A = this chain, B = another copy of it.
Amino acid sequence: MTANMEHIDVLVSEVGPRDGLQMTKRVMATAAKQAWISAEAAAGVREIEVGSFVPATVLPQMADTAEVVAHALRIEGLTVAALVPNYVGAERAIAAGVHKITIPVSASETHSLRNVNRTHEQMLREVRRIAERIRALPPHRRPGFEAGLSTAFGCTLEGPVPQDRVVALAEALLEAGCDEVGLSDTTGYANPRQVRSLTLAVWRAVGQSKLSGIHLHNTRGLGLANVLAAVDLGLTTVDASLGGLGGCPFAPGASGNVVTEDLVFMLESMGLRTGIDLDALCRVREILKQELPDEPLYGMTPQAGLPKGFSPAALAQTGGSEA
């Protein structure tokens, strides 16, 4: 998370090829995934979660993740991340050579049991095994290892998830050997006040350096407001998905993930450098339109266009028309 923050203020981490594609009816061809990743990297995106190492029987959309990783690793300057559900997935991710492994751990134990049939204790054991496996690697081959605290802002099964439980789980995961934890609003329940409160609570417990990233959904329209709360506070990595693809939308018409294009517009217009060329980013949508013609693409900035006289952060640090 250090090298790729050079010359930028916020790291926009694209999760579409993983979080977006695991939801689609149509399986995107490997070459199309690779073209998408290359085009986003060329637009300036520095971190992409390119896939997940889950059994192909569970998610056929992710069967080619190793090939996609191999392609992404050839792109200079790109941090290649992958999601893994367990130790077996981590083994495959390590073999593929990813820079970063993320394992989702649900703060709601009910959700964890329902989703991966594992208690918190069982998840912690899995995390410990993965951490040990990573430590056994030569230093230059060790990937970063993050636990994504899913349902951190509430659960569709349990309802509110007590903040103390999220904090305790974050502590336990770091103790089990993760490098970092991330907060994830799996259910789209988060509000800006809660983003602040929970981030500060986790920081107090584990230190600011152990939590730099957040994954927010736009299920109830609060995605960017929650990002604002996070970025104002000092979180520096924000997940988003091109065209808002994925993110478990609850209802048709309600986008799931925060839309990368709108996120970059917000940050750049505020004078926060992302390193991303917004015009080039918006053009990447064409790949999605062609490859996934049945999927709705979200994003208001691509439709409305950039404001007249708009200066991205890299050119003018004055926040648009504040001159």
Q: Decide: A301 and B221 in contact? CB cutoff 8 A.
A: yes
Q: Decide: A189 and B265 in contact? CB cutoff 8 A.
A: no
Q: What is the 8 Å Cβ interface bit string for chain A, positions 312-323, against chain B (1 contact, 0 not)?
A: 000000011111
Q: Which residues of B contact A19 (CB under 8 A)?
A: none
Is A229's beta carbon under 8 Å from chain B? Answer: yes
Is A187's beta carbon under 8 Å from chain B? Answer: yes
Query: Would you give the shortest CB distance from A282 to chain B, in whole angstroms?
Result: 12
Q: Decide: B265 and A220 in contact? CB cutoff 8 A.
A: yes
| Most B CB within 10 A of own CB, among A163, A198, A300, A301 | A300
Q: Decide: B153 and A304 in contact? CB cutoff 8 A.
A: no
Q: Decide: A222 and B266 in contact? CB cutoff 8 A.
A: yes
Q: Which residues of B contact A303 (CB under 8 A)?
A: 250-254
Is A224's beta carbon under 8 Å from chain B? Answer: yes
Q: Decide: B309 and A159 in contact? CB cutoff 8 A.
A: yes
Q: Decide: A300 and B220 in contact? CB cutoff 8 A.
A: yes
| Most B CB within 10 A of own CB, among A193, A219, A220, A229 | A220
Q: Decide: A191 and B270 in contact? CB cutoff 8 A.
A: yes
Q: Which residues of B contact A308 (CB under 8 A)?
A: 154-159
Q: Decide: B251 and A191 in contact? CB cutoff 8 A.
A: no
Q: What is the 8 Å Cβ interface bit string for chain A, positions 263-280, against chain B (1 contact, 0 not)?
A: 001100111000000000
Q: Decide: A162 and B323 in contact? CB cutoff 8 A.
A: yes
Q: Which residues of B contact A266 (CB under 8 A)?
A: 191-192, 220-222, 225
Is A177's beta carbon under 8 Å from chain B? Answer: no
Is A183's beta carbon under 8 Å from chain B? Answer: no
Evaluate whether A300 and B191 lie within 8 angstroms (CB atoms) in the complex, with A162-B321, A228-B225, A321-B154 already known: no
Q: Decide: B307 and A154 in contact? CB cutoff 8 A.
A: yes
A198-B198 Cα distance, complex, nearest whole Å: 30
Which among B160, B161, B193, B300 is the interface contact of A271 at CB below 8 angstroms?
Answer: B193
Smallest CB-CB A-B distances: 9 pairs: A159-B309, A160-B321, A221-B262, A191-B269, A221-B300, A251-B303, A193-B270, A159-B308, A193-B319
Q: Point out residues on A near B: beta carbons under 8 Å.
A: 153-163, 187-189, 191-194, 197-198, 218-222, 224-225, 227-229, 250-255, 259, 262, 265-266, 269-271, 299-301, 303-305, 307-309, 319-323
Further pairs besides A155-B308, A221-B299: 5, Cβ < 8 Å: A192-B270, A197-B319, A220-B262, A221-B259, A250-B305
6 contacts between A and B (CB under 8 A): A156-B308, A158-B308, A160-B321, A162-B321, A222-B269, A253-B300
